[in-house]
């Protein structure tokens, strides 16, 4: 056998071996490791030890918040729902407040630019919140509040951030609201809601303000690492609800 034929024979064997190796690797490839994420299951609001209202959180298959069901106390009747819808890119497109027993309905719609950045939150027959300025890191710096459908500015919100990128204060016509965090980046207190937060194993279990309390329970879900990271951001925004006013992008994107 000539040297050329021998070389071709060796190359052919290597190609066949390589093909079998690839098939074998593919056959043995494990499914991506799932991450465990803790999401809010229920929220109890109490005053002087008595239930004011009880909220159940409902999620979609991707772990995104789908609905909030509010009850009159822990064993009471369902009286209100908030329904959250997402667009094709996984961003919240609307919040719809649906009265069951009483209360008014409300609809928030959200607008994004071509790059997927949030530009506005609109409350039908209410107020518009438009992002007017971002800093070099893309964080929201200035938000203007308008009467819906007009150019009349009712308020301006200016946001400042700490070294870790969390909102440290918000200035508006209502004054300045300051926020404090622990070493892990958990919000511990704020002037807006006047609650102190109590954590256990990294999860917020209770907010307290005098005789008022908000108590949370959680459930575990498993998601891909990429999706788990997004859901954790949304959960952080849900827990730190005072930071959602008037806009919080972490709450809106999955």
Query: Smallest Cα–Cα separation from 157: which of 253, 243, 56, 34?
Result: 243
Question: What does the alpha-carbon distance between residue 104 and residue 254 come to, in Å, rounded to a whole number?
Answer: 28
φ/ψ of residue 138, rounded to 5: 85, 5
The answer to whether residues 73 and 89 touch, using CB atoms and an 8 Å cutoff, is: no
Question: What does the alpha-carbon distance between residue 93 and residue 19 come to, in Å, rounded to a whole number?
Answer: 47
Return contacts of 119-125, CB within 8 angstroms, 24+ apart: 121/246, 121/247, 122/148, 123/148, 124/148
Mean pLDDT highest for which of 80-84, 181-185, 217-221?
A: 217-221
192 versus 20: which is more confidently predicted?
192
Give residue 221's pLDDT band: very low, low, confident or very high (50, 70, 90). Answer: very high
Indicate if the pLDDT at residue 127 is higher than 50.
yes
Strands (E), 6-126: 34-47, 50-59, 65-71, 78-86, 92-99, 106-112, 118-123
pTM above 0.85, yes or no: no
Query: Smallest Cα–Cα separation from 143: which of 122, 166, 168?
Result: 122
Mean pLDDT highest for which of 51-55, 192-196, 212-216, 247-251?
A: 212-216
Strands (E), 104-202: 106-112, 118-123, 127-134, 140-147, 153-161, 167-172, 175-181, 187-190, 196-200
184 versus 17: which is more confidently predicted?
184
Over residues 230-239, mean pLDDT: 86
Domains of the chain: which residue ranges? 34-130+195-252
Give residue 8's pLDDT band: very low, low, confident or very high (50, 70, 90). Answer: very low
- Digit-coded pLDDT (tens) for 184-214: 788 887 666 677 888 898 899 998 888 889 9
Query: Radius of gyration of the chain from Cα atoms?
Result: 25
């Amino acid at each position: 056998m000539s040297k050329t034929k021998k070389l071709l024979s060796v190359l052919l064997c290597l190609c066949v071996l390589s093909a079998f190796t690839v098939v074998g690797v593919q056959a043995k490839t494990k499914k991506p490791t799932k991450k465990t994420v803790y999401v809010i299951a229920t929220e109890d609001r109490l005053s002087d030890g008595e239930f004011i209202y009880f909220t159940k959180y409902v999620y979609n298959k991707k772990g995104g918040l789908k609905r909030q069901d509010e009850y009159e106390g822990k064993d009471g009747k369902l009286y209100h729902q908030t329904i959250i819808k997402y667009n094709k890119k996984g961003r919240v497109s609307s919040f719809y407040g649906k009265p069951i027993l009483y209360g008014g309905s409300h609809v928030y719609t959200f607008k994004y630019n071509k790059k997927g950045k949030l530009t506005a939150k609109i409350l039908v027959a209410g107020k518009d919140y438009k992002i007017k300025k971002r800093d070099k890191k893309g964080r929201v710096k200035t938000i203007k509040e308008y009467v819906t459908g007009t150019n009349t500015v009712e308020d301006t919100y200016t946001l400042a951030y700490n070294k870790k990128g969390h909102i440290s204060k918000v200035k508006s016509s209502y004054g300045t609201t300051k926020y404090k965090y622990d070493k892990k980046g958990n919000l511990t207190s704020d002037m807006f809601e006047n609650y102190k937060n109590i954590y256990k194993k990294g999860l917020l279990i209770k907010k307290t303000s005098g005789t008022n309390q908000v108590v949370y329970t959680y459930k575990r879900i498993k998601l891909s690492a990429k999706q788990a990271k997004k859901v954790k951001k949304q959960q952080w925004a849900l827990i730190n609800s005072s930071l959602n006013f008037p806009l919080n992008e972490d709450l809106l994107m999955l």
